[in-house]
């Protein structure tokens, strides 16, 4: 999950126009600005690193869950009808957004059981 955040963040940093187009197409234009995409990209890379090493999980896990939920909402048609049999504008490649959201919810739910994170090692 952390690596996915890093990759999405890097995409926003190196291909800002792509991030703007995605915001326009799937998020009603929210964040469709080069500066905002650059800031989001940097924050997303930072979030991904925090998730990978397991630091500040009480903040990082909910942030990841919010991002995954927003993504799933933005591509809801592709989750319901990935092949576009009934809804227009769908893409089967977006269907895994539901799986990513489920994984984020699992991580969030079981964060206290994670003994390999740096957070849990700091508190021992």
Beta-carbon neighbour count of residue 69 at 10 Å? Answer: 15
| Per-residue pLDDT at 54 | 93
| Per-residue pLDDT at 115 | 85
| Per-residue pLDDT at 124 | 64
| Per-residue pLDDT at 117 | 87
Q: 56 in the Ramachandran plot: left (φ > 0), alpha (ψ -120 to 50) or beta?
A: left
Q: Average pLDDT for residues 102-109, to the nearest whole number?
A: 95
Q: Average pLDDT for residues 3-18, to the nearest whole number?
A: 95
| Per-residue pLDDT at 86 | 94
Residue with the two structure tokens 């955040």: 5
Instruction: Give, in order, the Cα–Cα distances in Å from 118 to each of 18, 21, 86, 115, 124.
Output: 34, 36, 46, 8, 10
Q: Average pLDDT for residues 114-118, to the nearest whole number?
A: 86
What global pTM score does this model have? 0.87
């Amino acid at each position: 999950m952390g690596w996915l955040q890093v990759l999405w963040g890097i995409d926003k940093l190196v291909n800002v126009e792509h991030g703007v187009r995605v915001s326009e197409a799937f998020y009603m234009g929210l964040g469709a600005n080069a500066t905002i995409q650059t800031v989001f990209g940097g924050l997303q890379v930072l979030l991904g690193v925090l998730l990978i090493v397991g630091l500040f999980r009480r903040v990082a896990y909910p942030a990841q869950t919010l991002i995954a939920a927003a993504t799933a909402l933005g591509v809801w048609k592709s989750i319901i009808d990935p092949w576009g049999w009934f809804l227009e504008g769908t893409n089967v490649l977006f269907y895994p957004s539901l799986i990513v959201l489920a994984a984020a919810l699992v991580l969030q739910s079981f964060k206290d059981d994670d003994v390999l994170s740096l957070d849990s090692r700091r508190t021992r």
